[in-house]
Structure 1
Amino acid sequence: MQWNELVARIREHGRYTTDAESKQVARLVLSALGGHLSDDVRERVAEQLPATAAESLRYQLPATKPLTGPEFVDTVARRLQDATSATARWDVSSVLAVLAEVCGDDLTDQVIADLPPGYALLFGRAELLSVA
């Protein structure tokens, strides 16, 4: 897959009006995600992506604090101009749903397992809760 193909899929999924908007959202979400994945999982995901996207994911310092899904969305909202929690959730979900398609079920399961609770829905997956 080429960078322009990934951008086109994100643009279609997120219903963005321009490639520039899709590129900005893709880079921002992937860079934010990169800091929250273990080295091994991050590298396996990066191998599935075009070089430009892989760089956004790979070259991040590890997060100092694990973030739940909603906290992650709020972090992205602060980085996007004029974003609200609702629009940031849309942006994050648009990128992560396409990432799930690109990575396939097994790797996506590994990514979700590598993250704190609250990310599955952002990848377009149901999140099962265990009840004690």
Structure 2
Amino acid sequence: MTISREDFLARVVERGEYRGDAEADHAARVVLALLGEHLVGGERAELAESLPETYASLLRDARPTGEALTAERFVEAVVGWIDGATPATAQWDIGAVLSTLADLAPDELIGRVLDQLPDGYDLLFGHPLPA
């Protein structure tokens, strides 16, 4: 069973220490849409299944770019989509959304997703890989 939109947002609000649902919703929409552009194949669809439909469609329906951004460039891209964001606040937003997603998806799936992405995304998902 997929988590409800309200429960997902509540988790993101808590992790991101947002003032309310609107701020968390905006961060989730930006992060998931950008992530969707950098994932391909079954992993993207499987990951989307862990989310409420509102957010699953952003991940699932994004047009793939063909080459994933480095983790640093992913943070920079989020800065460009959130008014007033800095690299530090964007990293906070990304962490709040992706660590929530990582808690909802099976660890094995997160591992396959991380295998598809450049180095550094493990930290964005809150799942640091062994050195």
Out of 7, 11, 14, the position equivalent to 2:13 is: 11
TM-score normalised to the size of structure 1?
Answer: 0.93
Structure 2: segments with no counterpart, 5+ residues:
none
Corresponding position of 1:36: 38
Give runs of aligned pairs for residues 1-132 of structure 1, distance below 5 A: 1-129=3-131
One-letter amino acid of the structure 2 residue matched with residue 108 of structure 1: I
The Cα of 1:94 is off from its aligned counterpart by 0.7
Q: Deviations over 1:22-46 (max 9, x none)?
A: 1010111000000111121100011
Count of residues in Structure 1 that have an aligned counterpart in Structure 2: 129
**Aligned residue identity for 1:17:** R
Render the CA deviation track for 1:23-70: whole Å, top value 9, x for unaligned: 010111000000111121100011111110101111111114421111
Alpha carbons 1:118, 1:127 under 8 Å: kept: no
2: CA distance, partners of 1:74 / 1:64 = 18
Preserved contact between residue 5 and residue 54 of structure 2 (Cα < 8 Å): yes
C-alpha RMSD over aligned residues? 1.1
SS in 2 for 1:81: coil
- Moved segments of 4+, more than 2 Å: none
Q: Which moved more, 1:60-69 or 1:25-34?
A: 60-69
Partner amino acid for 1:84? T
Report the TM-score, using the length of structure 2 for normalisation: 0.94
Deviation of 1:127 after TM superposition, in Å, equals 2.9
Alpha-carbon offset, residue 120 of structure 1: 0.4
Aligned to 1:107, the other structure's residue is in SS state helix
User: In 1, distance between residues paired with 2:66 and 2:40?
Assistant: 12
Residue ranges of structure 1 left out of the alignment (5+ in a row): none
